Structure 1
Amino acid sequence: MSDWRIVPGRETVAVIPILSFGVIMMLFGSGCATSSGVSKTEALIASMTRGETKDNLALNSRILAMANPDSLAGDYTLGQGDLLEISVFGIEELSKIKARVSSEGFITLPLAGTVSAGGKSAIALEETIKTALGSKYVRDPQISVFVLEHHSHRISVLGAVKKPGVFEVSGPRSVVDMLAMAEGLTEQSDQVVYLIRKATKSPTASEPPGLQPPATSNGKSAQEAVLEINLEEMLVNGRDELNAPLQSGDVVHVPKAGSFFVGGAVTKPGSYLLKGREVTVDQAIIEAGGVTRVADFEGVKIFRENKGQKKQLIEVSLNEMEQGQKGPLVMKNDVILVSSNGFKSAWFGFLEFIRFGVGASF
Structure 2
Amino acid sequence: MACSSARWIIVLGIVGMLAGTAMAAAQPVPPVHRFDATPVQSDGMETGGVVRSVGPGDTLGINVFGQPELGAQVTIDADGQITVPFLGVLTVQGLSPTAVGQLIADGLRSKGYLRDPQVGVEVVRVRSRIASILGEVNRPGRYPIEGRLTLLELLAMAGGLKDGAADTAVILRGQDDGPARQRIELFVGNRQQPARELQDLALQAGDIVYVSQAPHFFIHGEVTRSGSYPVEPELDVMRALSIAGGMTDRASARRITVNRKAPDGTMTKLKVGLGDPILPGDVIFVDERIF
Give TM-score scaled by structure 1 length.
0.49
- Determine the structure 1 residue equivalent to 2:134: 158
Q: AA paired with 2:213?
A: K
Q: Equivalent residues in 2 for 1:288-303 (5 A)?
A: 288-303=244-259
In structure 1, stretches of 5+ residues that fail to align are 1-69, 72-76, 123-146, 200-221, 344-362
| Whole-angstrom CA distance in 1 between matches of 2:163 and 2:133 | 16
Q: Does 1:306 align with 2:262?
A: yes
Give TM-score scaled by structure 2 length.
0.60
Q: Does 1:81 align with 2:88?
A: no
In structure 2, stretches of 5+ residues that fail to align are 1-47, 75-82, 85-91, 109-113
Aligned 8 A contact 1:160 1:185 in 2? yes
Q: Does 1:224 align with 2:190?
A: no
| Whole-angstrom CA distance in 2 between matches of 1:181 and 1:303 | 40
Report the 3-state secondary structure (helix = DSSP H, G, I; strand = E; otherwise coil) of the residue aligned with 1:290: coil
Q: AA paired with 1:180?
A: A
Aligned 8 A contact 1:191 1:257 in 2? yes
Alpha-carbon distance change, 104 to 197 in structure 1, aligned in 2, over 3 angstroms: closer
Q: AA paired with 1:84?
A: T
Aligned 8 A contact 1:79 1:101 in 2? no
Whichever structure has more strand as a proportion of its residues is: 2
- Determine the structure 1 residue equivalent to 2:153: 177
Q: AA paired with 2:195?
A: R
Select the structure with the greater relative contact order (CA < 8 A; seq sep ≥ 6): 1
- Determine the structure 2 residue equivalent to 1:278: 234
Q: AA paired with 2:127?
A: H
1:115 to 87, 94, 119: 119
Q: Equivalent residues in 2 for 1:140-159 (5 A)?
A: 147=125, 150-151=127-128, 153-159=129-135
- Determine the structure 1 residue equivalent to 2:167: 191
How large is the Cα RMSD of the aligned pairs?
A: 3.3
| Whole-angstrom CA distance in 2 between matches of 1:198 and 1:102 | 18
| Whole-angstrom CA distance in 1 between matches of 2:215 and 2:208 | 21
Larger Rg: 2
Pairwise CA distance, 1:175: 0.8
2:220 to 225, 243, 263: 263
**How many pairs align?**
208
Identity over aligned pairs, percent: 25
Q: AA paired with 1:251?
A: I
Alpha-carbon distance change, 296 to 96 in structure 1, aligned in 2, over 3 angstroms: closer
Pairwise CA distance, 1:293: 2.0
Write out the 4+ residue segments of structure 1 that deviate beyond 6 Å after TM superposition.
Answer: 109-112
Report the 3-state secondary structure (helix = DSSP H, G, I; strand = E; otherwise coil) of the residue aligned with 1:282: helix
1:334 to 282, 285, 289: 282
Pairwise CA distance, 1:289: 1.5
